[in-house]
């Protein structure tokens, strides 16, 4: 899927989770794309023009499918924040 950028991934992810009726569309989209990339949400925000390879796009598709099925974000990302501290979920 050449030509797929972080910006396109964010838009696609947002449309998928919006259709599923999930709130916090922009935040969750950024978190899911960042997780698929193995980067921080700040990276996703800062570099929307960066390309995604096919492997990353497939990983994102799988991650989004899990979220659309209402799997908790903490289970998908393996992390949960509490009082601004990240905790690993097992």
Q: Does 36 reside within a domain? A: yes
The structural domain count of the chain equals 1
By residue range, what is the domain housing residue 34? 6-88
> Between β-strands 85-88 and 79-82, what pairing exists: parallel, antiparallel or unpaired?
antiparallel
Q: For residue 83, give the CATH number of its domain.
A: 1.10.8.10
User: Which band of pLDDT confidence, cut at 50, 70 and 90, is reported for residue 79?
Assistant: confident
Q: Does 1 reside within a domain? A: no
Q: Does 59 reside within a domain? A: yes
Q: Does 35 reside within a domain? A: yes
| CB-based contact 68:76 (threshold 8 Å) | no
Q: Does 47 reside within a domain? A: yes
12-55 residue pLDDT tens: 999 999 999 998 999 999 999 999 999 999 999 999 999 999 99
Torsion of CA 66, 69, 70, 75, to 10 degrees: -30
**pTM across the whole model:** 0.84
């Amino acid at each position: 899927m050449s030509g797929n950028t972080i910006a396109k991934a964010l838009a696609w992810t947002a449309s998928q989770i919006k259709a599923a009726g999930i709130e916090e569309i922009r935040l969750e989209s950024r978190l899911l794309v960042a997780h698929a990339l193995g980067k921080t949400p700040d990276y996703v925000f800062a570099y929307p023009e960066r390309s995604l390879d096919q492997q990353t796009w497939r990983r994102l598709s799988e991650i989004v499918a899990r979220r659309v099925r209402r799997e908790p974000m903490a289970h998908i990302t393996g992390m949960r924040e509490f009082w601004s501290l990240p905790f690993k979920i097992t």
